[in-house]
Amino acid sequence: MSIFDAPIKTLTGEDTTLADQEGKALLIVNVASKCGLTPQYTGLEALQKRYEDRGFSVLGFPCNQFLGQEPGSAAEIQTFCSTTYGVTFPMYEKVDVNGDEQHPIYAELTAVADDEGNAGDVAWNFEKFLVSPSGKIVGRFRPQVEPEDPALVAAIESQLPV
């Protein structure tokens, strides 16, 4: 199964898949509202604004698996993201990124190793996966990598049409 085929719900509860994102470079991020890394929303939104017209999108997947740092309801998450950080990129339902209830999208993503050769479980909130327009997972960036990090920006730019 491709990441584009797995059923998912939007943050507003609508059934969907990522099929409407096929053909775009994607940065898939597990997000949380009460984490020390939450300010990364600012950089993620800046990436969205900078590259959305070039076939790119950030996709946010709230996750409460790391010290309960995403405790809110879908409505609370939506309100927090839009009012605090002005988030315009697509947000999806709260999912498990690790463990027995791991969402199928994350089962695909976590099979890919980072630059140091480490695959497997998501380490923490704000781990980033870069997906090519054809759906190939081409990069994995650990949580401490800021959205503005030159290596991440260069990787995104390498996936955009000229």
Burial of 161 from C-beta contacts in 10 A (0-12 / 13-18 / 19+): exposed
81 in catalytic set: no
Which 3-state string (H, E, C) describes 29-82? EEECCCCCCCCHHHHHHHHHHHHHHHCEEEEEEECCCCCCCCCCCHHHHHHHHH
Q: Which of 25, 29, 32, 35 is catalytic?
A: 35
CA dist 143 and 138 (Å) reads 17
* 3-state DSSP assignment of residue 20: helix
Q: Residue 128 is inside which H or E element, if any? A: strand 128-131
CA distance linking residue 146 with residue 126, whole number of Å: 9
Nearest Cα to 136, choosing from 25, 57, 30, 56? 25
C-alpha to C-alpha distance for 104 and 52, rounded to whole angstroms: 26
Which residues are part of the catalytic machinery?
35
